[in-house]
Amino acid sequence: METIKLLQQAIDYVEHNLNSTIEIEDIARAAMTSKYHFQRMFHALTGFTVTEYVRNRRLTLAAEELVGSDSKVIDVALKYGYETPEAFAKAFQRMHGVTPNMAKKKNVKLKAFPRISFQIQIRGETEMNYRIVEEKATIVVGKDVVIHKDASTEIPAFVEKIWKDGTHDQINELVGRPAGSLLYGYYFDFREDGTKRYLMGTELPEGKEITKGLTTLSVPDQTYAVFDSRESIPDDSEIGLEIVNVWRRIYSEWFPSAGFEQVEGPCMERYYWSDDKKGESICEVWIPVKKKI
């Protein structure tokens, strides 16, 4: 599979340049894709940001050089991109639990962060339903939160909070929707440290004034790949679990074999109950894309 081969090329580039300056743009170029798409793809597949991976690999090799050797800590620090021994020692201890000087001694436990290898897996899962949609620009209003690490736990906690404190119904009232109407989720402001913002909201009608404490988000004209999954499940508390599975399959199965790549812009989640079959939930993930050149 071509995408797997290109991802391996990117890892090869990282491994060959761990003691040199590495820019994410250069890693993405090795994978023949944009920086934006590469960062999203890498994080979704590995659970690490590109920056975290490079740092952990450098600290792994640094520990190997220090253990049982006469290497100077300052020389190893400079070799792996740290400007001061203090900065190196802080990062080293955070990962390994010991200082660089302690690592020079024998019989000291250290952590190894192995090189990542991407492999093709034959899966027996169901087909993926998707469509390509052109959407006009819009303004949405809602409540947002910063997602630090685990969206699968942080977002449900956030959603429960705004349901209980009345914010969810406050948004619906503002835009003229019935209380309890389900809002959409918007991911935006993706950062290199892996954090992002998540907004629960809906389209803002023209002329409506924003209530204090809410956030507006401009969603531009965009082409989206839209994925849906339908499941007969007992209650809507499990809808979030199905969305997590859809996201996983998009990055592990669809993008590696599709002629599209992700572009900048908010991603959306839409989830609601179908009208035709009672008890069937529809989970949709909207990702802004463009065709690969």
Q: What single string gives the DSSP state of each residue in 201-220?
A: EEEPPTTPPPPTT-EEEEE-
- Tokens for 112, please give them: 């190894």
Strands (E), 20-174: 129-135, 138-147
pTM over 0.85: no
Give the number of other CB atoms < 10 A from CB of residue 112: 12
Tell me, what's the pLDDT at 76? 95
Quote the pLDDT of residue 234.
42
**Long-range Cβ pairs for the range 81-87 (8 Å, 24+):** 81/19, 81/21
CA nearest neighbour of 54 among 88, 81, 84, 93: 81
**Dist. CA 197–CA 138, nearest whole Å:** 18
Domain ranges of the chain: 2-103, 129-291
The CATH number assigned to the domain with range 2-103 reads: 1.10.10.60
What DSSP assignment string belongs to 224-277?
A: EEEEEEEEE-SSGGGHHHHHHHHHHHIIIIIGGGSSEEE-SS-EEEEEEE-SSS
Tens of each residue's pLDDT in the chain, 293 residues? 577 888 899 999 999 999 999 999 999 999 999 999 999 999 988 888 999 999 999 999 999 999 878 889 999 999 999 999 999 999 999 999 999 999 988 788 899 999 998 776 655 556 788 899 999 999 999 999 999 988 888 999 999 999 999 999 999 999 999 998 889 999 999 998 889 999 999 999 988 888 889 999 999 999 999 998 765 444 444 445 677 888 888 998 889 888 899 999 999 998 776 665 555 667 889 999 999 87
Note the pLDDT of residue 37.
Answer: 94
In three-state secondary structure terms, 237 is helix
Residue type, 258: A
**What are φ and ψ of residue 261, in 5° steps?**
-135, 155
For residue 260, list its beta bridge partners: 291
Q: Which residues contact residue 3 at a Cβ distance below 8 angstroms, ignoring those fewer than 6 apart?
A: 255, 256, 257
**Res 241: pLDDT:** 62
Q: In this predicted structure, what is the pLDDT of residue 236? A: 43
pLDDT at 95: 94
**Which of the four CATH numbers 3.40.30.10, 3.40.50.10490, 3.30.565.10, 3.20.80.10 does domain 129-291 have?**
3.20.80.10
**Model pLDDT, residue 3:** 78
176 with 169: CB under 8 angstroms? Answer: no
